[in-house]
Structure 1
Amino acid sequence: MSFDPTLIVEAWPQLMRGLETTVWLFLAVMILCTPLSLLVALARLSRRRWLSRAAGTYVNVIRALPLLVILFFTFYGLPSLGIFVSPFTAALGGMVLVTTAYLAEDLRAGLMAVPRGQFEAADALGLPQARFVRRVLIPQALPIMCGPYFTRAIVTVKATSIASLVAVSELTSASMAKVTETYRAMEYLAFAAVAYILLSALIAVVQAVVQRRVRLP
């Protein structure tokens, strides 16, 4: 049975709706996770022991759980507690919870790479902690954090495919729906594969542009 591209053309509207959902889910996750992950990373480095321990517990517990288990909890478990959300919201909440934990560790590594002398100089000058973080720590850590950040973004794009298991009609779900309908897997899975590759390539291009900018003197 030969590859038939006309099947993709016929299913184009459905496949594109799935791709659009994938993009929106990815963007929503990254927009929410970026500030949350930075806050968790800073909390992990805090001198307040209770805050550092609380952030560390969150990171370690969430990273110990499979993403699918968390998505099943947000989709199937929350309604049993009287909390009803849409499939998209359930997937978004679960992915934000997991991605924040992993990204926080990525960002923490970048923050810890800043020379210790910068911290000591800030203490000697009596620089307020908030100003030190905003004016010294983050600008110096930014070039280091770019690589891990965009790598996590690519991982997140691919992880959106798991949302198909909690009734989100994203790219993988739309492709598999056509496979079930037509019993033709190659065409639709090839489309999905190319779409994920292009999304990852686009993120890599953005990464290259951002890294050139943040490394400018």
Structure 2
Amino acid sequence: MNITHHISDELLFDYANGALEEGWSIAVATHLALCPSCRKRLATMEAAGGMALEAIEIEPANASTEEFSWEAMRARIDNVAPAAPVPARPKHSTGRAASLPEPLRSYIGGDVDAVKWKPLGLGAYHYPIKTSDQDISVRLLRIPAGKPVPEHTHGGRELTLVLKGSFSDISGRFGPGDFEETDESVDHQPVADPGEDCICLAVTDAPLKFKSRIVRMIQPLLGI
């Protein structure tokens, strides 16, 4: 697998610190399962964070520094709710190589052939994935080979991870394992490359903003 588009340093840093909601974490963790380069970057970040913590000098508390003591810091940390990790899901075995890596495969309940696709129109399909997030949408998308997604921009962040096939847009070509991060500044029209349907994991925190008036009219029915 020749991966050329990787997770940004900022997003990977947030993942390393447990600062991402479940939906974003699924996309990042699934890419990490496919990408040795990003796993190495993550390990470097985690090692650097550990070294930084070890380098902190803790002075004994006294009356004037009690507020900033290690005990006070521990108390503040204990009172902060930790970021929710991606829940473990039951693993399924079919006795053959999986095309969907973990943790995504367990969220689906199997491999690609287990996906119960829902039509979006024009030959496209999607499969919503349930998470604990209230405002983040996670779904699989299946775009027919050679067909475009309607031109759109975004109301927030969008993460797209290619699982099978490929697509091209203004940012380049994205094949299996490639990771695209977009936001309100990006206006694009991804087109699935010929030869094979493109299956992607897409995570968003706001509805897409389509250019087509007709698509905007039916958007509430599609839930995208």
Q: Which TM-score tier does this pair reach, normalised by the shorter chain?
A: under 0.3
Structure holding more helix per residue: 1
Greater relative contact order (CA < 8 Å, ≥ 6 in sequence):
1
Structure holding more strand per residue: 2
